[in-house]
Structure 1
Amino acid sequence: MSRMWFAHDLETVATFWRILRRDGVTLGFTTHDRDLWLDGVLHRASPGMVPSSIRKSADFEPDSAEVRGSITHEAIASDDLASGRFDGAQVRIGLVDWESGEREVLYAGTVGTVTEEDGAFSAELVSRKAELWRDPIPRTSPACRAAFCGPGCNLNPQAFTRQVHLASADPLANAVTFAGVPEAALHAGGTVRWLDGPQAGVVMGVMGPDAAGGLVLDVPIDEAIPAGTPALLREGCDRTLGTCATRFGNAVNFRGEPYLPGNDMLTRYPGPNP
Protein backbone atom coordinates (compact mmCIF):
# COMPACT_ATOMS: atom_id res chain seq x y z
CA MET A 1 0.00 0.00 0.00
CA SER A 2 1.39 3.39 -1.00
CA ARG A 3 1.98 6.09 1.54
CA MET A 4 -0.63 8.74 2.23
CA TRP A 5 1.24 11.97 1.57
CA PHE A 6 0.48 15.20 3.45
CA ALA A 7 -1.60 13.39 6.05
CA HIS A 8 -0.12 15.54 8.85
CA ASP A 9 0.37 19.24 9.39
CA LEU A 10 4.16 18.96 9.23
CA GLU A 11 5.98 16.48 7.01
CA THR A 12 9.51 16.06 5.67
CA VAL A 13 8.41 16.00 2.04
CA ALA A 14 9.96 17.64 -1.00
CA THR A 15 9.27 17.53 -4.72
CA PHE A 16 11.78 16.02 -7.12
CA TRP A 17 11.93 15.80 -10.88
CA ARG A 18 14.29 13.91 -13.12
CA ILE A 19 15.14 14.65 -16.75
CA LEU A 20 16.55 11.91 -18.98
CA ARG A 21 17.82 13.52 -22.17
CA ARG A 22 18.16 11.64 -25.44
CA ASP A 23 21.93 12.20 -25.48
CA GLY A 24 22.29 10.03 -22.36
CA VAL A 25 22.56 12.84 -19.79
CA THR A 26 20.36 12.50 -16.68
CA LEU A 27 19.60 15.55 -14.53
CA GLY A 28 17.86 15.63 -11.17
CA PHE A 29 16.39 18.53 -9.19
CA THR A 30 14.54 18.90 -5.90
CA THR A 31 12.79 21.64 -3.94
CA HIS A 32 14.64 20.55 -0.80
CA ASP A 33 17.28 22.95 0.62
CA ARG A 34 20.09 20.46 0.00
CA ASP A 35 21.03 17.95 -2.69
CA LEU A 36 19.56 14.45 -2.52
CA TRP A 37 20.75 11.14 -3.96
CA LEU A 38 17.83 9.14 -5.40
CA ASP A 39 18.19 5.96 -7.47
CA GLY A 40 21.86 6.71 -8.04
CA VAL A 41 21.14 10.19 -9.44
CA LEU A 42 22.16 13.40 -7.68
CA HIS A 43 19.13 15.68 -7.42
CA ARG A 44 20.39 19.20 -6.94
CA ALA A 45 18.58 21.72 -4.78
CA SER A 46 16.91 24.11 -7.19
CA PRO A 47 14.11 26.09 -5.55
CA GLY A 48 13.85 28.24 -8.69
CA MET A 49 12.22 25.40 -10.61
CA VAL A 50 8.55 24.98 -9.80
CA PRO A 51 6.31 22.23 -11.21
CA SER A 52 2.72 23.34 -11.68
CA SER A 53 -0.29 21.32 -10.64
CA ILE A 54 -0.46 17.83 -12.08
CA ARG A 55 -3.81 16.71 -13.42
CA LYS A 56 -4.33 12.96 -13.61
CA SER A 57 -7.45 11.19 -14.78
CA ALA A 58 -8.65 7.61 -15.05
CA ASP A 59 -9.77 7.92 -18.68
CA PHE A 60 -7.70 8.07 -21.86
CA GLU A 61 -7.34 11.86 -21.78
CA PRO A 62 -3.62 12.76 -21.52
CA ASP A 63 -2.55 14.03 -18.11
CA SER A 64 -1.23 17.58 -18.03
CA ALA A 65 1.72 19.14 -16.24
CA GLU A 66 4.15 21.97 -16.73
CA VAL A 67 7.50 23.04 -15.29
CA ARG A 68 8.63 26.63 -14.94
CA GLY A 69 11.95 27.94 -13.75
CA SER A 70 14.78 30.39 -14.18
CA ILE A 71 17.78 29.62 -16.36
CA THR A 72 20.22 30.03 -13.52
CA HIS A 73 21.30 26.48 -12.78
CA GLU A 74 24.47 25.33 -14.53
CA ALA A 75 22.67 22.19 -15.74
CA ILE A 76 20.06 24.15 -17.73
CA ALA A 77 21.49 26.77 -20.05
CA SER A 78 19.81 28.89 -22.69
CA ASP A 79 22.09 27.49 -25.41
CA ASP A 80 21.14 23.92 -24.50
CA LEU A 81 17.44 24.75 -24.75
CA ALA A 82 17.95 26.46 -28.12
CA SER A 83 20.02 23.60 -29.54
CA GLY A 84 17.32 21.06 -28.69
CA ARG A 85 19.18 19.08 -26.04
CA PHE A 86 15.97 18.84 -23.97
CA ASP A 87 13.60 18.11 -26.87
CA GLY A 88 11.84 14.79 -26.34
CA ALA A 89 13.57 14.17 -23.01
CA GLN A 90 11.82 11.90 -20.51
CA VAL A 91 10.59 13.50 -17.30
CA ARG A 92 9.69 11.97 -13.93
CA ILE A 93 8.06 14.11 -11.22
CA GLY A 94 7.34 12.85 -7.72
CA LEU A 95 7.48 13.29 -3.96
CA VAL A 96 10.28 12.21 -1.63
CA ASP A 97 10.60 12.02 2.13
CA TRP A 98 14.05 13.53 2.58
CA GLU A 99 14.49 11.79 5.95
CA SER A 100 13.49 8.22 5.11
CA GLY A 101 14.15 8.34 1.37
CA GLU A 102 10.67 7.01 0.60
CA ARG A 103 9.49 8.35 -2.73
CA GLU A 104 6.73 8.02 -5.28
CA VAL A 105 6.57 9.09 -8.92
CA LEU A 106 3.42 11.08 -9.64
CA TYR A 107 3.96 11.92 -13.28
CA ALA A 108 5.87 10.39 -16.20
CA GLY A 109 6.09 11.91 -19.64
CA THR A 110 8.31 13.74 -22.10
CA VAL A 111 9.28 17.34 -22.71
CA GLY A 112 7.12 18.96 -25.36
CA THR A 113 7.16 22.65 -26.24
CA VAL A 114 9.84 24.70 -24.48
CA THR A 115 9.60 28.50 -24.44
CA GLU A 116 12.07 31.04 -23.07
CA GLU A 117 11.40 34.62 -22.02
CA ASP A 118 13.33 37.10 -19.85
CA GLY A 119 15.78 34.53 -18.53
CA ALA A 120 13.05 32.05 -17.59
CA PHE A 121 11.81 28.94 -19.32
CA SER A 122 8.52 27.09 -19.44
CA ALA A 123 8.31 23.46 -20.52
CA GLU A 124 5.10 21.71 -21.46
CA LEU A 125 5.12 18.05 -20.48
CA VAL A 126 3.42 15.36 -22.55
CA SER A 127 2.23 12.36 -20.52
CA ARG A 128 2.71 8.73 -21.52
CA LYS A 129 -1.04 8.45 -22.02
CA ALA A 130 -0.70 10.65 -25.10
CA GLU A 131 0.69 7.60 -26.90
CA LEU A 132 -2.80 6.08 -26.72
CA TRP A 133 -4.02 8.81 -29.08
CA ARG A 134 -1.63 7.77 -31.82
CA ASP A 135 -3.22 5.89 -34.69
CA PRO A 136 -1.53 2.47 -34.86
CA ILE A 137 -2.81 1.85 -38.40
CA PRO A 138 -0.34 3.07 -41.06
CA ARG A 139 -1.68 5.26 -43.83
CA THR A 140 -0.77 4.70 -47.46
CA SER A 141 2.04 6.80 -48.89
CA PRO A 142 4.14 6.75 -52.06
CA ALA A 143 7.31 7.11 -49.97
CA CYS A 144 8.60 4.68 -47.36
CA ARG A 145 7.14 5.26 -43.90
CA ALA A 146 9.88 3.42 -42.01
CA ALA A 147 12.81 5.25 -40.46
CA PHE A 148 16.07 4.51 -42.21
CA CYS A 149 17.79 1.60 -40.42
CA GLY A 150 14.87 1.53 -37.99
CA PRO A 151 11.98 -0.90 -37.35
CA GLY A 152 10.46 -2.00 -40.63
CA CYS A 153 13.50 -0.97 -42.65
CA ASN A 154 15.57 -3.65 -40.91
CA LEU A 155 18.92 -2.52 -42.33
CA ASN A 156 21.92 -2.67 -40.02
CA PRO A 157 22.75 0.91 -38.98
CA GLN A 158 26.40 0.00 -38.38
CA ALA A 159 26.83 -0.69 -42.10
CA PHE A 160 25.94 2.91 -42.95
CA THR A 161 27.54 4.72 -40.00
CA ARG A 162 31.15 5.81 -39.79
CA GLN A 163 33.23 7.86 -37.41
CA VAL A 164 34.50 11.02 -39.05
CA HIS A 165 36.38 14.15 -38.00
CA LEU A 166 35.37 17.72 -38.70
CA ALA A 167 37.46 19.37 -41.40
CA SER A 168 35.75 22.76 -41.47
CA ALA A 169 32.54 24.48 -40.42
CA ASP A 170 30.60 27.38 -41.94
CA PRO A 171 28.29 28.83 -39.25
CA LEU A 172 26.69 31.26 -41.72
CA ALA A 173 25.52 28.45 -43.98
CA ASN A 174 25.20 26.07 -41.01
CA ALA A 175 27.25 23.56 -42.99
CA VAL A 176 30.11 21.25 -42.02
CA THR A 177 32.70 19.32 -43.98
CA PHE A 178 34.16 16.04 -42.79
CA ALA A 179 37.44 14.54 -43.88
CA GLY A 180 37.21 11.41 -46.00
CA VAL A 181 33.48 11.55 -46.76
CA PRO A 182 33.08 10.24 -50.34
CA GLU A 183 29.75 11.69 -51.56
CA ALA A 184 27.87 14.32 -49.62
CA ALA A 185 24.66 13.59 -51.54
CA LEU A 186 24.47 10.11 -50.01
CA HIS A 187 24.05 11.63 -46.55
CA ALA A 188 21.00 13.80 -47.30
CA GLY A 189 18.39 12.80 -44.75
CA GLY A 190 21.04 11.24 -42.51
CA THR A 191 22.26 12.26 -39.09
CA VAL A 192 25.36 13.61 -37.35
CA ARG A 193 25.99 12.77 -33.70
CA TRP A 194 28.82 14.75 -32.12
CA LEU A 195 31.12 12.72 -29.88
CA ASP A 196 33.10 15.63 -28.43
CA GLY A 197 33.23 19.40 -28.39
CA PRO A 198 30.69 21.99 -27.24
CA GLN A 199 27.75 20.02 -28.68
CA ALA A 200 28.79 16.52 -27.62
CA GLY A 201 25.86 14.13 -27.67
CA VAL A 202 23.67 16.33 -29.88
CA VAL A 203 22.14 14.60 -32.92
CA MET A 204 21.58 16.79 -35.98
CA GLY A 205 19.80 15.96 -39.19
CA VAL A 206 21.47 16.39 -42.57
CA MET A 207 19.29 18.49 -44.86
CA GLY A 208 21.51 18.00 -47.90
CA PRO A 209 24.81 19.01 -49.52
CA ASP A 210 25.80 22.61 -50.12
CA ALA A 211 27.58 24.06 -53.13
CA ALA A 212 31.00 23.46 -51.57
CA GLY A 213 30.37 19.78 -50.94
CA GLY A 214 29.61 20.18 -47.24
CA LEU A 215 26.58 19.02 -45.29
CA VAL A 216 23.85 21.48 -44.28
CA LEU A 217 22.49 20.64 -40.81
CA ASP A 218 19.05 21.32 -39.36
CA VAL A 219 20.33 22.45 -35.92
CA PRO A 220 22.56 25.52 -35.49
CA ILE A 221 26.17 24.55 -34.99
CA ASP A 222 28.35 26.12 -32.32
CA GLU A 223 30.75 28.67 -33.77
CA ALA A 224 33.42 27.50 -31.32
CA ILE A 225 33.45 23.91 -32.57
CA PRO A 226 37.09 23.13 -33.46
CA ALA A 227 38.42 21.26 -36.46
CA GLY A 228 39.10 17.61 -35.75
CA THR A 229 36.00 17.15 -33.57
CA PRO A 230 34.86 13.51 -33.92
CA ALA A 231 31.31 12.61 -34.89
CA LEU A 232 29.23 9.65 -36.03
CA LEU A 233 27.91 10.24 -39.53
CA ARG A 234 25.04 8.11 -40.85
CA GLU A 235 23.93 7.99 -44.44
CA GLY A 236 20.42 9.01 -45.45
CA CYS A 237 17.66 7.74 -47.70
CA ASP A 238 15.21 9.63 -49.92
CA ARG A 239 12.55 6.98 -49.12
CA THR A 240 11.82 6.10 -52.75
CA LEU A 241 11.41 2.57 -54.05
CA GLY A 242 14.14 3.05 -56.63
CA THR A 243 16.70 4.00 -54.01
CA CYS A 244 15.60 1.21 -51.69
CA ALA A 245 15.95 -1.39 -54.45
CA THR A 246 19.08 -0.27 -56.33
CA ARG A 247 21.20 1.34 -53.62
CA PHE A 248 20.31 -0.80 -50.62
CA GLY A 249 18.79 -3.95 -52.16
CA ASN A 250 16.03 -3.73 -49.58
CA ALA A 251 12.86 -3.46 -51.69
CA VAL A 252 11.32 -6.39 -49.83
CA ASN A 253 11.11 -4.18 -46.72
CA PHE A 254 9.84 -1.06 -48.52
CA ARG A 255 7.01 0.42 -46.45
CA GLY A 256 5.11 2.38 -49.07
CA GLU A 257 2.71 2.13 -52.01
CA PRO A 258 4.41 3.96 -54.91
CA TYR A 259 1.97 2.67 -57.56
CA LEU A 260 -1.26 3.29 -55.67
CA PRO A 261 -3.38 6.00 -57.38
CA GLY A 262 -3.55 9.22 -55.38
CA ASN A 263 -6.17 11.95 -55.02
CA ASP A 264 -5.19 13.35 -58.40
CA MET A 265 -7.00 10.35 -59.92
CA LEU A 266 -10.29 12.13 -59.15
CA THR A 267 -9.33 15.21 -61.19
CA ARG A 268 -8.21 13.40 -64.31
CA TYR A 269 -10.33 13.85 -67.42
CA PRO A 270 -10.36 11.42 -70.30
CA GLY A 271 -8.90 12.72 -73.51
CA PRO A 272 -9.38 11.67 -77.10
CA ASN A 273 -7.30 8.84 -78.43
CA PRO A 274 -4.37 10.03 -80.54
Structure 2
Amino acid sequence: MKSETVARAWAVVRHDGLTLGFTDHDQTLNFEGISFRPDSGLSAKAVVQASGLSVDNTEAMGALSDSAITEVDLLAGRWDSADVRLWDVDWNAPSNRRLIFRGRLGEVSRSGGAFRAELRGLSEPLNRVLGRVYHQRCSAELGDGRCHFQLSKPGYWSEGVIESHDAGQRFILSGVSGHDARWFERGTFVVQSGAAEGLRGSIKIDLPLSGSRRDVELWSGLGQHPQVGDRVKLIAGCDKRAETCRLKFLNFLNFRGFPHLPPEDWLIAPQVSR
Protein backbone atom coordinates (compact mmCIF):
# COMPACT_ATOMS: atom_id res chain seq x y z
CA MET A 1 0.00 0.00 0.00
CA LYS A 2 1.59 3.26 -1.14
CA SER A 3 1.48 6.08 1.40
CA GLU A 4 0.43 8.62 -1.26
CA THR A 5 -2.74 6.65 -2.06
CA VAL A 6 -3.77 5.83 1.51
CA ALA A 7 -7.02 7.22 2.91
CA ARG A 8 -8.91 6.53 6.11
CA ALA A 9 -12.40 5.08 6.12
CA TRP A 10 -14.83 4.81 9.03
CA ALA A 11 -17.90 2.62 9.46
CA VAL A 12 -20.28 3.43 12.34
CA VAL A 13 -23.14 1.02 13.12
CA ARG A 14 -25.94 1.90 15.54
CA HIS A 15 -27.80 -0.64 17.67
CA ASP A 16 -30.83 -0.33 15.39
CA GLY A 17 -28.68 -1.43 12.43
CA LEU A 18 -28.24 1.96 10.72
CA THR A 19 -24.78 1.99 9.12
CA LEU A 20 -22.90 5.08 7.98
CA GLY A 21 -19.55 5.21 6.17
CA PHE A 22 -17.15 8.18 6.09
CA THR A 23 -13.76 8.83 4.52
CA ASP A 24 -11.19 11.60 4.41
CA HIS A 25 -10.66 10.91 0.69
CA ASP A 26 -12.25 13.34 -1.82
CA GLN A 27 -14.32 10.62 -3.51
CA THR A 28 -16.72 7.92 -2.34
CA LEU A 29 -15.15 4.55 -1.51
CA ASN A 30 -17.11 1.30 -1.59
CA PHE A 31 -16.26 -1.96 0.19
CA GLU A 32 -17.87 -4.45 2.58
CA GLY A 33 -21.26 -3.33 1.23
CA ILE A 34 -20.80 0.19 2.64
CA SER A 35 -20.44 3.51 0.79
CA PHE A 36 -17.89 5.70 2.54
CA ARG A 37 -18.79 9.31 1.77
CA PRO A 38 -16.29 12.19 1.64
CA ASP A 39 -18.77 14.92 2.63
CA SER A 40 -19.27 13.99 6.29
CA GLY A 41 -16.57 16.10 7.91
CA LEU A 42 -15.68 13.16 10.16
CA SER A 43 -12.04 12.95 11.22
CA ALA A 44 -10.00 11.54 14.07
CA LYS A 45 -6.93 12.15 16.12
CA ALA A 46 -4.11 9.61 15.99
CA VAL A 47 -5.17 6.20 17.22
CA VAL A 48 -3.34 5.26 20.40
CA GLN A 49 -2.79 1.51 20.64
CA ALA A 50 -0.60 -0.47 22.99
CA SER A 51 0.37 -4.07 23.41
CA GLY A 52 -1.13 -6.34 26.03
CA LEU A 53 -4.53 -5.40 27.46
CA SER A 54 -4.09 -1.62 27.47
CA VAL A 55 -7.16 0.24 26.26
CA ASP A 56 -7.02 1.64 22.73
CA ASN A 57 -8.26 5.20 22.65
CA THR A 58 -8.76 8.01 20.22
CA GLU A 59 -11.29 10.70 19.45
CA ALA A 60 -13.59 11.28 16.49
CA MET A 61 -14.71 14.73 15.45
CA GLY A 62 -17.21 15.80 12.85
CA ALA A 63 -19.89 18.21 11.69
CA LEU A 64 -23.54 17.67 12.55
CA SER A 65 -25.65 17.33 9.41
CA ASP A 66 -29.20 16.28 8.62
CA SER A 67 -27.97 13.58 6.25
CA ALA A 68 -25.49 11.91 8.60
CA ILE A 69 -25.12 12.29 12.38
CA THR A 70 -27.71 14.74 13.65
CA GLU A 71 -27.81 16.61 16.93
CA VAL A 72 -31.27 15.22 17.65
CA ASP A 73 -30.02 11.64 17.36
CA LEU A 74 -26.98 12.38 19.55
CA LEU A 75 -29.16 13.96 22.24
CA ALA A 76 -31.54 11.02 22.04
CA GLY A 77 -28.67 8.60 22.68
CA ARG A 78 -29.14 6.72 19.41
CA TRP A 79 -25.37 6.72 18.81
CA ASP A 80 -24.40 5.61 22.33
CA SER A 81 -22.04 2.60 22.20
CA ALA A 82 -22.31 2.40 18.40
CA ASP A 83 -19.83 -0.03 16.79
CA VAL A 84 -16.90 1.72 15.06
CA ARG A 85 -14.33 0.36 12.59
CA LEU A 86 -11.44 2.30 11.06
CA TRP A 87 -9.37 1.24 8.05
CA ASP A 88 -6.33 2.46 6.19
CA VAL A 89 -7.37 1.87 2.59
CA ASP A 90 -5.76 2.31 -0.81
CA TRP A 91 -8.25 4.52 -2.65
CA ASN A 92 -6.97 3.20 -5.98
CA ALA A 93 -7.78 -0.38 -4.93
CA PRO A 94 -10.14 -0.51 -1.88
CA SER A 95 -9.59 -4.28 -1.61
CA ASN A 96 -6.10 -3.37 -0.39
CA ARG A 97 -6.92 -2.19 3.13
CA ARG A 98 -6.01 -2.77 6.76
CA LEU A 99 -8.30 -2.61 9.78
CA ILE A 100 -6.48 -0.49 12.39
CA PHE A 101 -9.18 0.10 15.01
CA ARG A 102 -12.39 -1.49 16.23
CA GLY A 103 -14.38 -0.38 19.23
CA ARG A 104 -17.36 1.68 20.30
CA LEU A 105 -18.39 5.29 20.69
CA GLY A 106 -18.04 6.53 24.25
CA GLU A 107 -18.86 9.93 25.69
CA VAL A 108 -20.15 12.43 23.12
CA SER A 109 -20.07 16.23 23.49
CA ARG A 110 -21.58 18.87 21.21
CA SER A 111 -20.90 22.55 20.57
CA GLY A 112 -21.02 24.99 17.70
CA GLY A 113 -22.68 22.62 15.23
CA ALA A 114 -20.02 19.95 15.72
CA PHE A 115 -19.54 16.88 17.88
CA ARG A 116 -16.62 15.22 19.59
CA ALA A 117 -16.85 11.53 20.49
CA GLU A 118 -14.52 9.35 22.55
CA LEU A 119 -13.65 6.02 20.95
CA ARG A 120 -13.18 3.01 23.21
CA GLY A 121 -11.31 -0.09 22.10
CA LEU A 122 -12.44 -3.69 22.45
CA SER A 123 -10.39 -4.10 25.63
CA GLU A 124 -12.35 -1.35 27.43
CA PRO A 125 -14.61 -3.85 29.30
CA LEU A 126 -11.47 -5.35 30.89
CA ASN A 127 -11.17 -2.16 32.98
CA ARG A 128 -14.26 -3.10 34.99
CA VAL A 129 -13.82 -4.16 38.58
CA LEU A 130 -14.88 -7.79 38.96
CA GLY A 131 -15.95 -9.65 42.06
CA ARG A 132 -19.01 -10.06 44.21
CA VAL A 133 -20.23 -7.46 46.69
CA TYR A 134 -21.64 -8.78 49.96
CA HIS A 135 -24.62 -6.58 50.73
CA GLN A 136 -28.14 -6.95 52.09
CA ARG A 137 -29.67 -5.90 48.78
CA CYS A 138 -29.57 -7.95 45.57
CA SER A 139 -26.57 -7.46 43.29
CA ALA A 140 -28.30 -8.75 40.15
CA GLU A 141 -30.18 -6.67 37.59
CA LEU A 142 -33.86 -7.47 37.20
CA GLY A 143 -34.26 -9.94 34.34
CA ASP A 144 -30.54 -10.68 33.80
CA GLY A 145 -28.84 -14.08 33.75
CA ARG A 146 -28.36 -14.09 37.52
CA CYS A 147 -31.89 -12.96 38.36
CA HIS A 148 -33.60 -15.31 35.87
CA PHE A 149 -36.91 -13.43 36.16
CA GLN A 150 -38.90 -13.22 32.90
CA LEU A 151 -40.12 -9.64 32.48
CA SER A 152 -42.47 -10.79 29.72
CA LYS A 153 -44.75 -12.40 32.32
CA PRO A 154 -48.28 -10.95 32.42
CA GLY A 155 -48.70 -8.29 35.07
CA TYR A 156 -45.09 -7.09 34.99
CA TRP A 157 -45.48 -4.79 32.00
CA SER A 158 -48.17 -2.63 30.49
CA GLU A 159 -48.69 -0.42 27.46
CA GLY A 160 -50.30 3.00 27.34
CA VAL A 161 -50.70 6.14 25.25
CA ILE A 162 -49.26 9.56 26.09
CA GLU A 163 -51.99 12.10 26.90
CA SER A 164 -49.61 14.91 27.85
CA HIS A 165 -46.00 15.43 28.88
CA ASP A 166 -43.77 17.99 30.56
CA ALA A 167 -40.37 18.48 28.83
CA GLY A 168 -40.21 14.82 27.91
CA GLN A 169 -39.71 13.83 31.55
CA ARG A 170 -43.16 13.65 33.16
CA PHE A 171 -46.03 11.92 31.37
CA ILE A 172 -49.75 11.39 31.82
CA LEU A 173 -50.63 8.05 30.24
CA SER A 174 -53.97 6.45 29.41
CA GLY A 175 -54.76 2.78 29.05
CA VAL A 176 -52.65 1.60 32.00
CA SER A 177 -54.70 -0.05 34.74
CA GLY A 178 -54.60 -2.92 37.20
CA HIS A 179 -51.30 -2.07 38.85
CA ASP A 180 -50.58 -0.81 42.35
CA ALA A 181 -49.08 2.61 42.99
CA ARG A 182 -45.30 2.66 42.47
CA TRP A 183 -45.40 -0.71 40.70
CA PHE A 184 -43.22 0.56 37.85
CA GLU A 185 -40.84 2.71 39.91
CA ARG A 186 -37.18 1.88 39.18
CA GLY A 187 -38.45 0.17 36.06
CA THR A 188 -38.14 1.05 32.39
CA PHE A 189 -40.12 3.41 30.16
CA VAL A 190 -39.88 2.39 26.48
CA VAL A 191 -41.23 4.51 23.60
CA GLN A 192 -42.85 2.24 21.01
CA SER A 193 -43.98 4.64 18.28
CA GLY A 194 -43.31 8.08 16.87
CA ALA A 195 -40.05 9.92 16.27
CA ALA A 196 -38.66 8.81 19.66
CA GLU A 197 -39.37 5.10 19.07
CA GLY A 198 -36.87 2.84 20.81
CA LEU A 199 -35.72 5.37 23.42
CA ARG A 200 -35.70 4.24 27.05
CA GLY A 201 -35.79 5.99 30.40
CA SER A 202 -35.63 4.99 34.05
CA ILE A 203 -38.85 5.56 36.02
CA LYS A 204 -38.61 7.73 39.14
CA ILE A 205 -42.28 8.13 40.14
CA ASP A 206 -45.30 6.02 39.15
CA LEU A 207 -48.76 6.87 40.49
CA PRO A 208 -52.24 5.80 39.33
CA LEU A 209 -54.82 8.46 38.52
CA SER A 210 -58.54 8.15 37.87
CA GLY A 211 -59.68 5.44 35.50
CA SER A 212 -56.85 3.89 33.51
CA ARG A 213 -54.66 6.99 33.61
CA ARG A 214 -51.21 7.06 35.18
CA ASP A 215 -48.69 9.74 36.21
CA VAL A 216 -45.13 8.66 35.34
CA GLU A 217 -41.97 10.73 35.87
CA LEU A 218 -38.50 9.76 34.64
CA TRP A 219 -35.20 10.43 36.40
CA SER A 220 -34.06 12.42 33.37
CA GLY A 221 -35.75 13.58 30.19
CA LEU A 222 -35.39 11.66 26.96
CA GLY A 223 -33.10 13.27 24.39
CA GLN A 224 -35.95 13.37 21.87
CA HIS A 225 -39.38 14.13 23.30
CA PRO A 226 -42.19 11.65 22.65
CA GLN A 227 -45.40 13.30 21.51
CA VAL A 228 -49.03 13.08 22.51
CA GLY A 229 -50.51 9.93 20.99
CA ASP A 230 -47.26 7.94 21.01
CA ARG A 231 -47.44 4.47 22.53
CA VAL A 232 -45.16 3.52 25.42
CA LYS A 233 -44.40 0.39 27.40
CA LEU A 234 -43.85 0.33 31.16
CA ILE A 235 -41.76 -2.47 32.69
CA ALA A 236 -41.90 -3.21 36.42
CA GLY A 237 -39.01 -2.12 38.62
CA CYS A 238 -37.21 -3.65 41.58
CA ASP A 239 -35.72 -1.93 44.63
CA LYS A 240 -33.47 -5.00 45.24
CA ARG A 241 -34.85 -5.77 48.70
CA ALA A 242 -35.41 -9.38 49.74
CA GLU A 243 -39.04 -8.62 50.61
CA THR A 244 -39.69 -7.21 47.14
CA CYS A 245 -38.08 -10.23 45.48
CA ARG A 246 -40.20 -12.61 47.56
CA LEU A 247 -43.58 -10.87 47.44
CA LYS A 248 -43.62 -8.87 44.19
CA PHE A 249 -41.67 -11.16 41.87
CA LEU A 250 -41.98 -14.55 43.66
CA ASN A 251 -38.32 -15.05 42.82
CA PHE A 252 -36.62 -15.37 46.20
CA LEU A 253 -34.76 -18.56 45.19
CA ASN A 254 -32.72 -16.38 42.82
CA PHE A 255 -32.16 -13.49 45.25
CA ARG A 256 -28.50 -12.44 45.01
CA GLY A 257 -28.18 -10.50 48.25
CA PHE A 258 -27.53 -11.32 51.90
CA PRO A 259 -30.61 -10.12 53.82
CA HIS A 260 -29.33 -11.44 57.17
CA LEU A 261 -25.96 -9.71 56.94
CA PRO A 262 -25.45 -7.44 59.98
CA PRO A 263 -25.59 -3.71 59.14
CA GLU A 264 -22.54 -1.46 59.33
CA ASP A 265 -23.78 0.05 62.61
CA TRP A 266 -23.60 -3.37 64.22
CA LEU A 267 -20.05 -3.93 62.98
CA ILE A 268 -18.72 -0.75 64.62
CA ALA A 269 -20.82 -0.92 67.78
CA PRO A 270 -18.89 -1.64 71.01
CA GLN A 271 -19.29 -5.21 72.14
CA VAL A 272 -20.41 -5.77 75.73
CA SER A 273 -18.30 -8.38 77.48
CA ARG A 274 -20.00 -10.86 79.76
> Normalising to structure 2: TM-score of the pair?
0.84
Does the aligned pair in 1 maintain the 2:192–2:230 contact within 8 Å? yes
Tell me if structure 1 keeps the 8 A contact 2:167–2:225. no
Match of 2:237 in 1: 236
Alignment of 1:33-44 (within 5 A): 33-44=26-37
Counterpart pick for 1:166 among 140, 148, 161: 161
How far apart are residue 153 of structure 1 and its match? 0.9
- In the TM superposition, what whole-angstrom CA distance separates every residue of 1:194-245 from its partner, at most 9, and x where no partner exists? 2321212222222222686411123424786333312333221111111111
How far is the alpha carbon of 1:86 from its aligned partner?
Answer: 2.0
CA contact (8 A) 1:92 1:107 kept: yes
Preserved CA contact (<8 Å) 1:198 1:222: no
**Distance (Å, rounded) in 2 between the aligned partners of 1:105 and 1:128:** 13
1:58 — aligned with what?
51
The residue type paired with residue 110 of structure 1 is: R
Q: 1:197–1:63: structure 2 CA closer, same or farther, 3 Å change rule?
A: same
Which deviates further from its counterpart, 88-97 or 64-73? Answer: 88-97
Retained in 2: the 8 A contact 1:163–1:230? no
1:194 is aligned, of 182, 191, 194, to 191
Query: Which residue identity does 1:127 align to in structure 2?
Result: G
Q: Secondary structure at the match of 1:132?
A: helix
8 Å CA contact 2:169–2:221 kept in 1: the answer is yes
**Which region of structure 1 is more displaced relative to structure 2, 93-102 or 190-199?**
93-102
**Identical amino acids, percent of aligned pairs:** 28
- Structure 1 range deviating more: 146-155 or 223-232: 223-232
The question of 1:28 aligning with 2:32 is answered no
Secondary structure, aligned partner of 1:158: coil
CA offset at residue 67 of structure 1?
A: 0.4
Q: Deviations over 1:92-115 (max 9, x none)?
A: 222233443324322122222211
Secondary structure of 1:227 counterpart: coil
Distance in 2 between the 1:179 and 1:167 partners? Answer: 7
1:125 shift after superposition: 1.4
Quick one: distance in 2 between partners of 1:237 and 1:114?
Answer: 30
Q: Is the 8 A contact 1:175 1:215 kept in 2?
A: yes
Aligned match of 2:131: 137
Give the letter for the 2:94 counterpart. Answer: G
1:30-59 CA deviation, whole Å, 9 max, x = no partner?
223344444334433335111110011112
Q: Number of paired residues?
A: 266
Q: Which amino acid aligns with 1:78?
A: E
| Other-structure match for 2:82 | 89
Report the secondary structure of 1:244's partner residue. Answer: helix
Amino acid at match of 1:251: F
CA distance in 1 between counterparts of 2:132 and 2:198 reads: 31
SS in 2 for 1:10: helix
> Larger deviation: 125-134 or 216-225?
216-225
2:22·2:38 contact (CA, 8 Å) conserved in 1?
A: yes
Contact 2:72 2:223 in 1 (8 A): no
For the structure 1 residues 142 and 224, does the alpha-carbon distance in structure 2 shift closer, same or farther, using more than 3 Å as the test?
closer
1:77 equivalent in structure 2:
70
CA deviation after TM superposition for structure 1 residue 154, in Å: 0.9
| Structure 2: segments with no counterpart, 5+ residues | none
Residue in 2 that maps onto 1:115: 109
Q: Which residue of 1 aligns with 2:148?
A: 154
Other structure's SS at 2:153 match: helix
Tell me the CA shift for residue 164 of structure 1. Answer: 2.3
Deviation at 1:162, TM superposition (A): 4.7
SS in 2 for 1:226: coil
1:175 equivalent to 2:170? Answer yes
Matches within 5 A, 1:193-232: 193-209=190-206, 213-221=214-222, 225-232=226-233
Q: Is the 8 A contact 1:166 1:176 kept in 2?
A: no
Moved more, 99-108 or 246-255: 99-108
